Structure 1
């Protein structure tokens, strides 16, 4: 195994990162700058959210939005936090692995067809803790992006937090090594197919009719496959590169790249679809999803429920466990509060991603604006 796999968390590395707090990323190019029909379509398919608000222009034109809108998480592709050809995020500590632990999104309005967004991006905070997963020292890095539209008006923000852990220690500890990857029978697949056929979404929801304790979902996702994971990740760019682009990335960030079974350096993104690679690198049972994918599912759990006139304004997601290849997930939740603020009516909901092992792999608190009757 190459030495680049054995990155270390050091006082010197942490000090270099602390000097970066509040600093941005000049010279990086966003993966996407404009909300096109194709961008909306591709993201809807990547998430598995076939809302007519995203896909049917005639339908969307008759709603309060007057045009196609995009799945809310599209903003993540429109900043320089994870720019192609760079080390991505989190930065610093070459060869030290990173895993998404939480995301916070806020939206002041929907993102619409034709929007051109830019973002101010920077490292927001660092904190050091002990890690039971990493078997020792761990670092939490939080980044922020604030989004503005073509008229300079603020659209929203996101904060993402990663834990940094040393790969050699996670491989030695194998905290989750006893978890067995799922296997499904044709009868199981038929059951999931039938559940997918029954999936529906609300077209209207009024604040006046909502009661605390009302249920959301369940919304089925999975079984997770390498194909599904690549479909999601390809929408967001970053490490899905080859040839000259990959060679230049290797020149700039050699410790980022890990030799594959044929000796070719590749970015670590294969942990999201390659079981054998992930078992070898991290000692985990298999490949696992990208945290924001479950955030996108949690967002859909809300947008399916709030109806065509509702506006998702905030979600704070926390990723508690891995979502492995083959796992099946149900997004479910309930209304925890309803309130009015500045003349508008809102609901607050608590959501969960629950897998087929009955484990809660992610939770979220979300808020949405609903119309009055």
Structure 2
């Protein structure tokens, strides 16, 4: 089956426009939250899970991958990259939201991550088990150059550990567009295919060779200057292997998930709209746009492309390599501006924009960006890092909002109550 035939077949199977009823359901649901009852690919941050997650986006920081390295740091042992909170979840017992507060289903509508904001409050230690509650925070309707009308949803997820400590709050920006309209615009049909010579790869290898991890050498707050560069981190050229490695590291795409054999059949019975026949007539996940270029072409892109959350990990990698073992990322915000297609290289850079002392924390603000080999800015971000000070010692960790902490305790109490009722 040709790409054009696949596109037409997909249009016939998923010829849906955004439904006003789904938008109204979202508006009714905004602000409601519920305990997350899904089992993620990884629920507990074991030493091996931490290592594999870090390797999954190309990070070999000893603080994350060497169980013995962290013993002499402020953390007292191995910790995970803070952004690992995105993929960790152990199911909670909790009350399901009533149907009218679950939001729209948007059947047959294409969804992709356009950005996100993390606020972190505690590290993830080896052995920690993470839980969460989440809900739709806001919904907005806009006109999209790529696909006509689009819906902008902000989901908020609160992550906490077995001790009831708030680890982080994650807000994800999701763009929903009609698939057929996205293909018909042809906006990205002229994106050139990359081609590299051995000399090009040799230049890229020089960037890899120059990358360093700050590690045990303390990054002192007093030594940081506004305008200072964080250096360059290279990622790519993007391949199908990168997607496989990222999933193997722990990214499970919950609650949809990737399954095989009988488990895949069960998943198809549960969410049939998530599956579309491939060129062999085999039902396969619509998510394969991230590794199947022919399928990506069928819905309006020139090649397969990465996950937004993977690029969030890359920006986080730039921060953690620079800050050293004593640092703590307080906040990270990113905006996905362009697709990162197979074959593309991303050069991740950063610059210090401000520094201040606030709430007993020594804070450094930075701007981040990722630029591809064509010189296009594909991702923009900003972050705040807490560093150690010669004058004030280690920064205290941030205090979570009172309403968030109280909701965590309420969720945990309900979890325990439902557990005792089933004994």
| TM-score between both structures, scaled by the size of structure 2 | 0.82
Report the more deviating stretch, 146-155 or 321-330: 146-155
Aligned to 2:197: 185
Shift of 1:25: 6.2
Aligned residue for 2:326, secondary structure, equals: coil
1:66 to 76, 82, 91: 76
Deviations 1:41-88 (A, max 9, x none): 11111110100101122322111111111112211112489xxxxxxx
Alignment partners' CA distance in 2, 1:17 and 1:80 = 26
Residue 123 of structure 2 corresponds to residue 110 of structure 1: yes
Query: What pairs with 1:185-334 in structure 2 (closer than 5 Å)?
Result: 185-203=197-215, 204-234=218-248, 235-238=250-253, 239-280=257-298, 282-334=299-351
Whether the 8 Å CA contact 1:108–1:155 is kept in 2: the answer is yes
Partners of 1:231 and 1:4 in 2: CA distance: 31
Q: Secondary structure at the match of 2:181?
A: helix
Distance in 2 separating the partners of 1:249 and 1:328: 34
Match in the other structure for 1:85? none
Aligned partners of 2:211 and 2:232 also within 8 Å: no
Q: TM-score, normalised by structure 1?
A: 0.93
Spell out, residue by residue over 1:218-254, the C-alpha distance to the aligned partner (whole angstroms, 9 max, x if none). Answer: 1111111011112113421133212222222222222
Distance 2:306 2:104 in 1: 20
Q: Distance in 2 between matches of 1:223 and 1:338?
A: 34
1:167-213 C-alpha deviation (Å, 9 max, x unpaired): 11111101111111211122222222232122112232111111111
- Structure 1, unmatched stretches of 5+, are 82-88
What's the CA shift string for 1:147-170, capped at 9, x where partnerless?
111111111110111100111111
SS at match of 1:188: helix
Instruction: Work out whether residues 27 and 103 of structure 2, in 8 Å CA contact, stay in contact via their aligned partners in 1.
Output: no
Alpha-carbon separation, structure 2, partners of 1:79 and 1:353: 29
Structure 1 residues 90, 43: closer, same or farther in 2, change over 3 A?
farther
Task: Count residues with an aligned counterpart.
Answer: 364
Q: Is the 8 A contact 1:212 1:338 kept in 2?
A: yes
Deviation for aligned residue 1:341 = 1.0
Q: CA deviation at 1:30?
A: 3.2
8 A contact 2:44–2:89 mirrored in 1:
no
- Rate the CA distance shift 1:358–1:45 in 2: closer, same or farther, 3 A: same
Q: 1:6 aligns with which of 4, 8, 15?
A: 15
Distance 1:26 1:360, change over 3 A: closer
Give the CA deviation at 1:310. 0.6
2:176: which partner in 1? 164
Which consecutive unaligned segments of at least 5 residues does structure 2 have? 1-8, 92-101, 391-423
Which deviates more, 335-344 or 242-251? 242-251
| Separation of aligned partners in 2, 1:23 and 1:65 | 32
Residues 315 and 27 (structure 1 numbering): CA distance in 2 closer, same or farther, change over 3 Å? closer
> Aligned with 1:340: secondary structure?
strand
Moved over 6 A (4+): none
Residues 120-169 of structure 1 deviation map (CA, whole Å, 9 limit, x = unaligned): 111221111000011x1100111111111111111111011110011111
Distance 1:247 1:90, change over 3 A: farther
Match of 2:41 in 1: 31
**Residue 138 of structure 1 aligns with which residue?**
150
- Please give the secondary structure, in 1, of the residue aligned with 2:375: coil
Q: Is the 8 A contact 1:126 1:139 kept in 2?
A: yes
Match of 1:126 among 131, 139, 145: 139
1:19 aligns with 2:28: yes
Deviation at 1:272, TM superposition (A): 0.6
| Preserved contact between residue 79 and residue 120 of structure 1 (Cα < 8 Å) | no
2:35–2:132 contact (8 Å) kept in structure 1: no
After TM superposition, give the deviation of residue 113 of structure 1 in Å: 0.6
Q: CA deviation at 1:27?
A: 4.3
The aligned counterpart of 2:58 is 48
RMSD of aligned alpha carbons:
1.8
